[in-house]
Structure 1
Amino acid sequence: MATRGRKPFANRKAAFQNPTEEKGVHPTILKQARKTGQLNLSGRNLSTVPDTVWRLNLDVPEEARDVSLDNTDERWWEQTELTKLILASNLLTEISQEISNFQALSVLDIHDNRLESLPQSIRELENLVKLDVSRNKLKELPESVTYLRNLRSLHVEYNELVRVSEGIGHLDKLEDLDLSNNQLSELPPQVGHLYHVLKFNVSNNRLSSLPPEIGSMNALKCLDVTHNQLTHLPEDLGNLPNLEQLYLRHNQLSGIPLLKNCKNLKEIHLGNNQIRRITAEHLQHLESVSVLDIRDNKISELPEEITCLSGLQRLDLTNNDLTGLPFVLGTITSLKSIVLDGNPMKSIRRDIIMRGTVELKKYLCSRIEDPQPVEPTNKGIQNGGDTGIVGGSGEGLKAHDIQQSKSLDYSNKKATSVPDDIWEVAMKAGVTSVNLSKNQFTDLPSNLILLESTLKEFNFGFNKLTKLNPDISLFLRLTTLDLRNNGLSDLPRDMESLQDMREIVLSCNRFTTLPSSLYEMKKLEIIFADNNKITTIDAAGFKNLPMLATLDLQNNNIEQVPPELGNCTQIKSLLLNGNAFRNPRPAILTKGTLALLEYLRSRIVS
C-alpha cells in the first residue's frame, strides 16, 4: 500500500522535471478525459501536443499499471471515447496524424494557434460535427476537410486563405460556414451545393464578385459579404427564399439586383458603397424589410414607393445626397427611426430634422392631403394627436371599432379619467394599444389594470405626470411606452420587470440621469431621451443593452461624452447635438454615428 501511495507523486515529479513530457498536461486531466470524453487543453502555451494525448484511449495510463482489477474506481479500461477536444489558444504549428485515433470526435477546436496545415488523417473523423480552425495561418482550406460529411459548423476565419477547394460542395450537411477575414478573391461555384447552410460569412476578403450559384443556397438566412471589393451582384441572389439578413456594407456596388424571391428579408445593409439610386421596382420586392441601411452612398432621391416597406422600422440615410424626402414616408406607422445626418437637405428645415423621427414624420404628413397611414401586420401606436381610431361608448366612441382594431384612442380630450363603460369594452376586446396622450392625467387610470394581460403599446405623453405609478411594472407584455412631455425625473425601479420593452420615449421631461431600470431591459431597441436635463452618460449601462439601435440624447446638459461609449457598436443612430460638451466637436458629430463611435474608441486609454 505504501508503494501505491508514493507512485502518483513520483509520476508528478517526473512530469514536472521533464520539459518534453506532458507540458501543461497533468495526468489527472487525462484521467478525467477518459471518464468524460472531453479534453480541454486551451491556453497552456503548448508548442506540441504530448504523445500521451494522442494515445489517450489506447495506452495503459502510468498511474494504473499497479492498480488492482478489483478496484472499481480505477477501471481505466472502462473509459469513454473522446468526443470533444479543445486545443485553442496555444502555440501549435502542427497537429499529429494520430488525431485519427479519436474516431468518436464530434467537436475539434484548434483556433488561435500557428497552424499552416492540417493532417490528412483528419478526413477519417467521420463523426466530426464542429471544426474551428480560425485564427491560424492556413493558406487554403485543406482537401481533407471536405471529407467530413457530417460537419455542421466550420470556422476558418482569420487565416491566410487564398482559395477554397471545390470539394467544399461535398459538405452538404453544413449549417454554419465562416470564411471571413482571409484573402479570398473568389469563391468556387460549388458553394451552391451547400443547401443547408443557414449562416454564411465571407466578410473582410478580396471578393470582386459572387458566383451565381450562391442563389441555390436555399436555406440561407444570413449572408455577410461586408468589406470586400464587390462591384456587382448576381441576379440569382434574389432567389434566396429564406434570406433574412443581407450585409453588403463597404464594397464598391453601384446598384443592387432585384431581390424578387427574398420574401423573408428583414434587414438589408448597403452602407458605404457607390449606389446612386434605388428604384420603385427594387422597393416593391422588399415589403418585409424592417431595417434598411443605405448610409454613405450617393443617393439623391428616395421614391414614393418607399411605402411598400409597410413594416419598416429603421431607415438609415446618413451621408447621401438627399435634398428632400417623399412626404408619404411619414405615413409608415411602424417607422421609428430615420437618420439623415450628412445630407444637404433643402426642402426640410434643420430644426424639424433635429426634433427627431416622430416630429419629422408629423411634418411630412402635414405636407400631404389626408394621408392614409400604411398599417403593418403589427400595428404601432400613434404618437400624439388623433389616430383616426374610434372606440368605446359614452363619448362618441364605437365599441365595434375597438373590438375590431384592439386599440383604444382616448387622446386630446383634456380628460382626467376614462368612462368605466369604455374600459369594459376595451377589456372584453383584449385591447393591445392604448393612446391617452394630450390629456390632464396626473396618475395612471385605475382601470388600466384591466388590460394587464394584453397591453403592448401605451402612449401617455403630454399629460401632467410628475411621478409614474409603480403599477406600470405589472404590464409585462409592454413593448412600447411613450411618456414624452410630462414632468418626470425618475422611473420606478420595478420597471426592470418589463423584459419585452423595445421602445421608450422620455423626451421633454426633467430627467437628470437615465433611470437604472432601463439598463435591465435587454430587448430595448430605441431610447428617446432628448430635451431633458441629463448631465452624464452611463456607457456601461448602454453596453448592457445588446439590441439598442437608436439613442437620442439631444438637447440635454451633458458635459462629457465617455470614450467607452464607442464600444457600444450595436448603436446605429446616436444623436448628441445640443449638449454642453466641447469634445467631440460638431464637425465629428456631423459625420454620423459610425464615425462618432470610431472617434470615441480611439480615445480610450489602454
Structure 2
Amino acid sequence: MAERLLIGALKGGKNTKIITLNGKKMTKMPSTLGKLPGLRTLNLQNNLIPKVCPEISTLTQLTVLNLGNNLFKEVPEEMKYLTSLKKLHLFGNRICRFAPGACDGLQNLILLNLNHNQLTQLPQEVNRLKSLTCLNVNCNQLTSIPRELFFLEDLSELHFNYNQLICIPEEIKLLKKLQKLLLARNNIEVLPEGICDLKKLRILDIAGNIIQIFPPGFQNLKLREFYCEENPLILKQPFIANQREDIWSLKEITSRFVMNQLAGQNPFLMHAIEQFPEVKNIISKGKNCAICGKFFLTIWLECVQFVPPSKNCKISKNLQLVPVRILLCSYKCFNQRQPNLFGISQE
C-alpha cells in the first residue's frame, strides 16, 4: 500500500508537496523519497521506522516532518540537511540522545516535539535552533536544562511536564517572549528569581513539585493561568524570626552606601565603578528591601508575604493566598512590616 502511494506521488514529480503514510507498518523510510525534492510535508507517523534514509538529505524544501510513534533512538544527524524545516515531530519514540550535528542546519525550525521519549539531557547544541518558538519535552527523564537553551530569544512555549528536574537556571530571565511555561510533575524545590522578569508569561504550571515559597516579585506577573496544586506551600503557620541586633560588616556598610548612591545616579561613583569590575560584580548581587526600597548585599532577613492571586487568573482549586518570598534590610524595617508579612526562621 505504501509503495503504491509513493508511485502515485512520483508521477507528480516536482509538483508533489505532501505525502502521508501514517500507520502503514513500514519498517524503513522509502529511499524513493529522494526523487521528490519539492516535497513540503512528510507524515510517517505510527510506523516501525528505526532510522531515516540517506536520501532524506535531498528534501531541502521540506517544512513539516512527522516521525512520531516510530522506533528512533536518536535525533538523526540527517536533520541538519533539512534547512527549510519548520516543524519536527519526534514524539513517542525511544530517543535518548541527539546525534552530533543534528541541530546544525535547523535554523528555521520553530517547533520541536520530543514528548514521550527517553531523554536524560538536552545537548548544548540546542542553542543552534535560532528560530525555535515552541519546545515540547514532556514525559522524558530530564534532570536538568542546559543554560544554552535560554539564549533562544524567540522561545514562547516550554513544555517540561513529567520529568525529573530539580531546578530551573536563572538564565530563564533572558526569554523575554516566553508566554507558556509548563513544569508539572517534576522535583523542583525553588523557582529562580529570574522568572519574575518574564513580563509576557501568561500560563505557568508547577503542579506536583516540592515548592514552598515563590521568589520576590512573583505577585507582579500578569498570569492568566496558574496551577500549583500538590506543592507543600506555606499556607497556614509561617515561622517566626528570632530578633537580634543589627550588626553589619564593613563590606556590607560600604556596599549599601555604594549601591544606594548608584541608585541615585551619583556621577562620580557611576564613573569610578567601571574601573573596578570585581566591585561591580559584588554589588550586582544586591537586593531591594521590600519595606524601605533601599539596597543591601547580604540577605539580612527572609520573610514570607501572603498575597492573593490575580482576580482574572485561572488558578488551582482552593488557592486563596500565594506565599511570596520577601527580603528586608534591617530589623527597623521588620518592625514596620505589614500584618501579612512574617519572618522565616533560619534555624
Q: Check whether TM > 0.5.
A: yes
TM-score, normalization: structure 2? 0.67
Q: Which of residues 315, 336, 339 in structure 1 aligns to 2:317? A: 339
The answer to whether 1:150 aligns with 2:84 is yes
TM-score, normalization: structure 1? 0.39
Identity of aligned residues (%): 24
1:141 maps to amino acid = V
Q: Which has the larger radius of gyration?
A: 1
Check 1:167–1:282 CA distance in 2 against 1; reply closer, same or farther (3 A cut). farther
Structure 1 segment 539-554 matched on structure 2, within 5 A? none
1:57 alignment counterpart: 10
The answer to whether 1:188 aligns with 2:123 is yes
Q: Which of residues 286, 308, 314 in structure 2 aligns to 1:329? A: 308
Find the residue that maps to 1:151 and give its secondary structure: coil
User: 1:72-98: per-residue Cα shift (whole Å, max 9, x none)?
Assistant: xxxxxx976211000001110011222
Structure 1 segment 220-369 matched on structure 2, within 5 A? 220-258=155-193, 259-279=195-215, 281-283=216-218, 286-301=220-235, 326=306, 329=308, 332-334=310-312, 339-340=317-318
Structure 1 segment 65-80 matched on structure 2, within 5 A? none
The answer to whether 1:86 aligns with 2:64 is no
Distance in 2 (CA, whole Å) between partners of 1:57 and 1:163 is 34
Check 1:127–1:254 CA distance in 2 against 1; reply closer, same or farther (3 A cut). same
Distance in 2 (CA, whole Å) between partners of 1:289 and 1:52 is 48
Does the 8 Å contact 1:269/1:292 carry over to 2?
Answer: yes
2:75 alignment counterpart: 141
Q: Any gaps of 5 or more consecutive residues in structure 2?
A: 239-289, 291-303, 322-337, 340-347
1:261 maps to amino acid = D
Structure 1 segment 405-416 matched on structure 2, within 5 A? none
Displacement after TM superposition at 1:278 (Å): 1.3
Does the 8 Å contact 1:277/1:301 carry over to 2?
Answer: no
1:219 maps to amino acid = D
Distance in 2 (CA, whole Å) between partners of 1:335 and 1:227 is 24
Displacement after TM superposition at 1:213 (Å): 0.6
Distance in 2 (CA, whole Å) between partners of 1:248 and 1:130 is 27
Distance in 1 (CA, whole Å) between partners of 2:47 and 2:39 is 20
The answer to whether 1:218 aligns with 2:197 is no
User: 1:39-89: per-residue Cα shift (whole Å, max 9, x none)?
Assistant: xxxxxxxxxx3278358536xxxxxxxxxxxxxxxxxxx976211000001
Distance in 2 (CA, whole Å) between partners of 1:336 and 1:110 is 38
Displacement after TM superposition at 1:195 (Å): 2.3
2:89 maps to amino acid = H
Displacement after TM superposition at 1:167 (Å): 2.5
Q: Which structure has the highest strand share of the two?
A: 2
Q: Alignment length, in residue pairs?
A: 256
Q: Any gaps of 5 or more consecutive residues in structure 1?
A: 1-23, 25-48, 59-77, 309-323, 344-367, 370-606
Does the 8 Å contact 2:225/2:313 carry over to 1?
Answer: no
Distance in 2 (CA, whole Å) between partners of 1:181 and 1:52 is 29
User: 1:536-576: per-residue Cα shift (whole Å, max 9, x none)?
Assistant: xxxxxxxxxxxxxxxxxxxxxxxxxxxxxxxxxxxxxxxxx
Find the residue that maps to 1:192 and give its secondary structure: helix
Q: Which of residues 94, 97, 115 in structure 1 aligns to 2:49? A: 115
Distance in 2 (CA, whole Å) between partners of 1:250 and 1:237 is 19
1:231 maps to amino acid = I
2:6 maps to amino acid = V
Q: What is the Cα-based RMSD across aligned positions, in Å?
A: 2.9
Find the residue that maps to 1:170 and give its secondary structure: coil
Displacement after TM superposition at 1:334 (Å): 3.4
Distance in 1 (CA, whole Å) between partners of 2:218 and 2:13 is 60
Displacement after TM superposition at 1:287 (Å): 2.1
Check 1:135–1:256 CA distance in 2 against 1; reply closer, same or farther (3 A cut). same
Does the 8 Å contact 1:301/1:325 carry over to 2?
Answer: no
1:100 alignment counterpart: 34
Find the residue that maps to 1:93 and give its secondary structure: coil
Find the residue that maps to 2:10 and give its secondary structure: coil
1:121 maps to amino acid = E
1:329 maps to amino acid = P
Find the residue that maps to 1:230 and give its secondary structure: coil
2:246 alignment counterpart: none
Distance in 2 (CA, whole Å) between partners of 1:136 and 1:325 is 49
1:177 alignment counterpart: 112
Distance in 1 (CA, whole Å) between partners of 2:131 and 2:222 is 23
Find the residue that maps to 2:204 and give its secondary structure: strand
Distance in 2 (CA, whole Å) between partners of 1:264 and 1:203 is 22
User: 1:317-339: per-residue Cα shift (whole Å, max 9, x none)?
Assistant: xxxxxxx994x528x55357562
Find the residue that maps to 2:125 and give its secondary structure: helix
